[in-house]
Amino acid sequence: MKAEKKHYKFINSKTGYVIHHFTLTEDLNEADVKAALEKVKADVATKNSIFLDTIYWEEDKETE
């Protein structure tokens, strides 16, 4: 059985702009998904020189 892809976007809460897209292809439980997204969030904050608390993610329902 093929794992379903889930798409996420990381957003700068001060500007409202999407600054990163990420896709999870693995079938993970909720805790592992959150851990993976937190790791990506930290990487995005570091690469863009943005405070960690300024970034949030949400599932991208528009991407199929």
Euclidean distance between CA atoms 58 and 22, whole angstroms? 10
How many residues are there in the chain? 64
pLDDT at 3 over 70: no
Average pLDDT over residues 49-61: 94
The pLDDT-based confidence of 4 (bands split at 50, 70, 90) is confident
pLDDT at 1 over 70: no
Cα-to-chain-centroid distance, residue 49: 17
| Domain segments of the chain as ranges | 6-59
pLDDT in tens, 16-52: 999 999 999 878 888 999 999 999 999 999 999 999 9
H helices present in 1-64, as ranges: 30-48
- Do residues 50 and 12 make contact, with C-beta atoms less than 8 angstroms apart? yes
Residue with the two structure tokens 């809460």: 13
| 34 CB neighbour count, 10 Å cutoff | 12
pLDDT at 2 over 80: no
